[in-house]
């Protein structure tokens, strides 16, 4: 009976993933777009602000301390940038992608345009949905976070971080788009460097911000589909239009 129960549960999970994939394709019908179903990460180890605000040294490739009561002695070492985990890993920028994939099992998709399908939007804050996006010769980290900026009022924050330096990040523009029920919401901006810390970007509000009612307006049965596009550009602009 135990064996049958486990197998039956696995089959149900597979059916659920295929159904979510079909829903995303129905919302984003453009040919050639890849769909990634992203399950939430929920951890009690979460600290609201884990990173110090980026200083001018970040522009030189030096990362400020990202752990409480710790000092990064080697400016070439980058702390783990995966939100919601108290990970003590440190390493060079070139091996951050390998660490995120091998240790935290974060999926990576190829292509300039993909669809990010976040499931179980109803889960309590704090919750993260994370994937890596590989295109144009670089890797990006997309983070969707549900967080209470004010007690009792959870919000959704979506941002794209380049796994590279701030100078490299300035060469790109990313677009996040929600499209459902004849409504469209678009955010376009220059990605921030992973050296600047995801927590700081969300705290500053320099990202796509949705309140609960707006997120529900664009969600489909508890899942939120976000179209992602990345282009090379040096034009610094950010806009949210509906």
Look at residue 7 and tell me if it is in a domain: no
Q: Are 226 and 178 a contacting pair, CB within 8 Å?
A: yes
What radius of gyration do the chain's Cα atoms show? 18
> Which stretch, 47-61, 77-91, 202-216, has highest mean pLDDT?
202-216
pLDDT of 1-10, one tens digit each? 555 455 555 5
Q: 183: domain CATH number? A: 2.60.210.10
Our count of domains for the chain comes to 1
Look at residue 53 and tell me if it is in a domain: no
CA distance 72 to 51: 12
In the numeric block, the tokens 């804050």 are attached to 125
Within 13 Å, how many C-alpha atoms sit on residue 134's CB side?
9
Q: How many CB atoms lie within 10 A of CB 36?
A: 20
Look at residue 71 and tell me if it is in a domain: no
Look at residue 217 and tell me if it is in a domain: yes
Contacts of 236 (CB under 8 A, 6+ apart): 170, 190
Domain that holds residue 193: 31-39+78-232
Look at residue 88 and tell me if it is in a domain: yes
Q: Which residues on neighbouring strands pair with residue 90, listed in sequence order?
A: 79
Rounded alpha-carbon distances, angstroms, from residue 37 to 16, 20, 57, 215, 226: 10, 7, 37, 17, 11
What pLDDT score does 68 carry?
Answer: 39
Q: Are 201 and 207 a contacting pair, CB within 8 Å?
A: yes
pLDDT of 181-237, one tens digit each? 889 999 999 999 988 888 888 888 899 999 999 999 999 999 999 999 999 975 444
Q: Are 38 and 117 a contacting pair, CB within 8 Å?
A: yes
What pLDDT score does 92 carry?
Answer: 85
Q: What percent of the chain has pLDDT over 70?
A: 66
Phi, psi of 42 (to 5 degrees): -125, 125
Look at residue 166 and tell me if it is in a domain: yes
């Amino acid at each position: 009976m135990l064996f049958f129960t486990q197998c039956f549960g696995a089959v149900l999970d597979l059916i659920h993933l295929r159904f979510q994939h079909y829903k995303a394709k129905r919302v984003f019908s453009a040919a050639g777009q890849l769909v990634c179903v992203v399950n939430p990460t929920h951890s009690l180890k979460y600290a609201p602000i884990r990173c110090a605000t980026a200083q001018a040294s970040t522009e030189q490739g030096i990362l400020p301390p990202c752990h409480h009561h710790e000092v990064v002695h080697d400016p070439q070492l980058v702390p783990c940038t995966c939100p919601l985990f108290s990970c003590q890993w440190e390493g060079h920028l070139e091996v951050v992608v390998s660490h995120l994939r091998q240790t935290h099992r974060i999926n990576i998709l190829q292509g300039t345009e993909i669809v990010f399908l976040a499931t179980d939007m109803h889960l309590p804050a704090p919750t993260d949905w994370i994937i890596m996006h590989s295109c144009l010769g670089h890797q990006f980290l997309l983070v969707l976070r549900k967080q209470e900026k004010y007690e009792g009022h959870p919000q959704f924050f979506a941002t794209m971080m380049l796994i590279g330096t701030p100078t490299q990040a300035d060469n790109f523009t990313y677009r996040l788009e929600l499209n459902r029920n004849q409504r469209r919401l678009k955010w376009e901006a220059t990605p921030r460097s992973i050296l600047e810390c995801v927590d700081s970007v969300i705290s500053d509000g320099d990202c796509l911000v949705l309140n609960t009612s707006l997120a529900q307006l664009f969600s489909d049965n508890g899942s939120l589909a976000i179209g992602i596009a990345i282009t090379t550009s040096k034009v610094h602009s950010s806009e949210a239009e509906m």
